[in-house]
Amino acid sequence: MKKESAIKQIKETLGPQGWSNDPDIMAPLLTDSEGGPQGNALILACPANTEEVSTVLQLCHQANIPVVPQGGNTGCCGGAIPNQTGTEVLLSLRRMNRIRDLDSTDYTLTAEAGCILHDLKHAAEEANRFFPLSLGAEGSCQIGGNLATNAGGINVLNYGNTRDLVLGLEVVLPDGTLWNGLRRLRKDNSGYDLKHLFIGSEGTLGIITAVTLKLFPLPHTSVTSCCALSNLESGLSLLAIAREYSGDQVNSFELLPRIAMEMIAKHRNDLRLPFPSDEAQWYVLMELNSSRKNDDLAALTETILEEAFTKNMITNAIIAQSEQQRNQLWSIREAAVEVQKSEGYSVSHDVAVPVSKVAELIKLTCERASELLPGIRPYPFGHVGDGNIHFNFFKPDDMTDIDFKGLTSKIHTLVYETVNELNGSISAEHGIGRAKTDELEIYRSAIEISLMKAVKETIDPSYLMNPGKVINQKT
Ligand SMILES: Cc1cc2nc3c(=O)[nH]c(=O)nc-3n(C[C@H](O)[C@H](O)[C@H](O)COP(=O)(O)OP(=O)(O)OC[C@H]3O[C@@H](n4cnc5c(N)ncnc54)[C@H](O)[C@@H]3O)c2cc1C
């Protein structure tokens, strides 16, 4: 089929509400949340239902037109951005935002891929149920994007990544074939578990159109505390005793470095720092959750922190006494992300190591970065409880942005080599997108890359689904 004919039929299928090539509408969809390279697209397609997704993919397949799926476009690796050639269809799931079913007996929710995460969580709460996936972008990211990136966030310790929250999927394959795998089974060992191929595949194997998710009882109590650590290692010891004493009720365990507190003081003077005059280098935000009505988590948190004081793990601590204080502590965590944009250009990484290796990762990487560039300002923070560190770097005060940008790839190599030495991963939760395809080939074994390519070529032999992302096409 000719490309012009396919595009004409796509427009007819979707109707006037379902497509656009207006530059003003398309502009914000053509660059990602990190301000990565600007893309271009043949057309923006916004199907209203699964059948329309299927028709669009069938037409693109017949005319050999590549398709780039896009959710809320909050991804950090350029995965949802078409390339610059203007030859790809950008397919947004934004109109597919219905909740199809919520079953409070089964503890399941079935939603279309374009549902905004916040709306989906709210729908669960209305039914007295809890969907635990929680991340800073939840007001804009879509559940389809969360699935495609296997998003992590701040509740992974208790509930797992997105992958762990899925019972069934509906997917349109690259040739337009529909796979309806929307099962609600808690047990299902009938052959390969295909849904896991699509979760985390970043739109390279097909378009996720709907999902059946696991729900949980609503947490009845949450107690949030913030501690100044004696040193980095003691943060991990604190996590270990908190898990032990609470019987694994530690929901969030987030690391903040001193530089984060300094930047928050500089850029957000509306926020009150937990320990304004403290000299600690490291802080953690810890939250314990329970769905049981009679759990006294405040007393439990006090016991844990007393033990941590006695063993010299922490030098200071506060426990939020109200919802308002809890929100204030979480605002500090959110501000630790925002203020980095105000500070300027940074070289960023999203890496993971075994939890026991986090302190070693941070120390080694900081030492090596200072040898490479004296005065460099490391900013490692994030989901330390699951070994995931967002390891960012700011330039020395007396250096220009241009000179610092020139060192970007050396800094990446230094971080990834250190992560690799510690048996970690170059992408903890953000994915590979188009930003890390070369690194994936370096840091995953030849057999893993070969298996990934075999999967890709079985499902999408013409490399039409999100080309140039995750897997480099064989030349
Ligand atoms: C402030 C902020 C905080 C963040 N915090 C976290 C965090 O704590 N944890 C975390 O994991 N991430 C975090 N992120 C990154 C981002 O929010 C997640 O990766 C999120 O899951 C992306 O969802 P999205 O709908 O925006 O997807 P998009 O950015 O639109 O797309 C991401 C990838 O998924 C593909 N895709 C999207 N929808 C579909 C679909 N329906 N079918 C197939 N493929 C699809 C795209 O092609 C692309 O490859 C954060 C981002 C920001 C801006």
Say which CATH number the domain at 141 has: 3.30.465.10
Give the CATH number, domain containing residue 82: 3.30.43.10
CA of 78 to the centre of ligand 1 (A): 10
By residue range, what is the domain housing residue 61? 3-92
CA of 143 to the centre of ligand 1 (A): 9
**What does the radius of gyration of the chain's CA atoms come to, in whole angstroms?**
23
Place of tokens 């578990």: 193
Q: Specify the amino acid at residue 361.
A: L
Q: Distance between CA 16 and CA 44 in Å, rounded?
A: 12
The answer on 208 and 187 residing in a single domain is yes
Residue 135 CA: nearest ligand 1 atom is 8
**Residue 207 forms beta bridges with which residues?**
172
The answer on 162 and 82 residing in a single domain is no
Question: What pLDDT does 475 receive?
Answer: 53
Residue 78 within any structural domain of the chain: yes
Q: Distance between CA 68 and CA 430 in Å, rounded?
A: 17
Q: Distance between CA 69 and CA 49 in Å, rounded?
A: 14
The answer on 332 and 250 residing in a single domain is yes
Residue 388 within any structural domain of the chain: no
Residues 6+ apart with CB under 8 A from 199: 147, 148, 150, 162, 163, 166, 169
| 92, 124, 156 - which closes a domain | 92
CA of 247 to the centre of ligand 1 (A): 32
Ligand 1 atom 41: the closest Cα is on which residue?
144
- The separation between CA 367 and the C-alpha centre of its own chain, rounded to angstroms, equals 28
Ligand 1 atom 23: the closest Cα is on which residue?
145
Give the CATH number, domain containing residue 303: 3.30.70.2190
Q: How many CB atoms lie within 10 A of CB 86?
A: 11
CA of 29 to the centre of ligand 1 (A): 13
Q: How many CB atoms lie within 10 A of CB 354?
A: 12
Length of the chain: 475
Three state DSSP letters for 288-328: EEECCCCCCHHHHHHHHHHHHHHCCCEEEEEECCCHHHHHH
3-state secondary structure of 107: coil
The answer on 235 and 135 residing in a single domain is no
Token pair for 435: 């930003």
Domain count, the chain: 3
CA of 137 to the centre of ligand 1 (A): 8
Question: What pLDDT does 36 receive?
Answer: 73
**Residue 45 forms beta bridges with which residues?**
19, 91
Give the strand pairing for 99-103 and 178-181.
unpaired
Q: Are 77 and 430 in contact (CB under 8 A)?
A: yes
Question: What pLDDT does 473 receive?
Answer: 81
Residue of 44, 46, 70, 156 to mutate, ligand 1, most atoms within 8 A of C-beta = 70
Residue of 44, 46, 53, 74 to mutate, ligand 1, most atoms within 8 A of C-beta = 74
The answer on 116 and 58 residing in a single domain is no
Helix (H) or strand (E) holding 14: helix 3-14
Token pair for 338: 């925002």
The answer on 7 and 86 residing in a single domain is yes
pLDDT in tens, the chain (475 residues): 899 999 999 999 999 999 999 999 999 999 987 777 789 999 999 999 999 999 999 999 999 999 999 999 999 999 999 999 999 999 999 999 999 999 999 999 999 999 999 999 999 999 999 999 999 999 999 999 999 999 999 999 999 999 999 999 999 999 999 999 999 999 999 999 999 999 999 999 999 999 999 999 999 999 999 999 999 999 999 999 999 999 999 999 999 999 999 999 999 989 999 988 888 999 999 999 999 888 899 999 999 999 999 999 999 999 999 999 999 999 999 999 999 999 999 999 999 999 999 999 999 999 999 999 999 999 999 999 999 999 999 999 999 999 999 999 999 999 999 999 999 999 999 999 999 999 999 999 999 999 999 999 999 999 999 999 999 886 5
Residue 59 within any structural domain of the chain: yes
The answer on 331 and 226 residing in a single domain is yes
Q: State the sign of the Cα–Cα–Cα–Cα dihedral 250, 251, 257, 260.
A: negative
Residue 179 within any structural domain of the chain: yes
The answer on 126 and 157 residing in a single domain is yes
CA of 75 to the centre of ligand 1 (A): 4
The answer on 332 and 245 residing in a single domain is yes
Residue 153 CA: nearest ligand 1 atom is 8
Q: Is 76 in the pocket of ligand 1 (CB under 6 A)?
A: yes
Residue 419 within any structural domain of the chain: no
Q: Is 47 in the pocket of ligand 1 (CB under 6 A)?
A: no
Residues 6+ apart with CB under 8 A from 353: 360, 361, 387, 389, 419, 422, 423, 424, 425
Q: Distance between CA 454 and CA 98 in Å, rounded?
A: 34
Residues 6+ apart with CB under 8 A from 150: 161, 162, 163, 199, 200, 429, 431
Question: What pLDDT does 474 receive?
Answer: 64
The answer on 329 and 226 residing in a single domain is yes
Q: Is 340 in the pocket of ligand 1 (CB under 6 A)?
A: no
Q: Distance between CA 135 and CA 272 in Å, rounded?
A: 22
Q: Distance between CA 321 and CA 268 in Å, rounded?
A: 23
- DSSP for 413-448, written as a single string: HHHHHHHHHTT-BSBSSS--TTTSHHHHHHHS-HHH
Q: Are 256 and 323 in contact (CB under 8 A)?
A: no
| 325, 343, 361 - which closes a domain | 343
Q: Is 108 in the pocket of ligand 1 (CB under 6 A)?
A: no
Residue 451 within any structural domain of the chain: no
Ligand 1 atom 19: the closest Cα is on which residue?
75
Q: Is 141 in the pocket of ligand 1 (CB under 6 A)?
A: yes
Q: Are 162 and 145 in contact (CB under 8 A)?
A: no
Q: Distance between CA 448 and CA 454 in Å, rounded?
A: 10
The answer on 75 and 122 residing in a single domain is no
Q: Is 470 in the pocket of ligand 1 (CB under 6 A)?
A: no
Residue 167 within any structural domain of the chain: yes
The answer on 212 and 311 residing in a single domain is no
| 343, 363, 392 - which closes a domain | 343
Residue 245 within any structural domain of the chain: yes
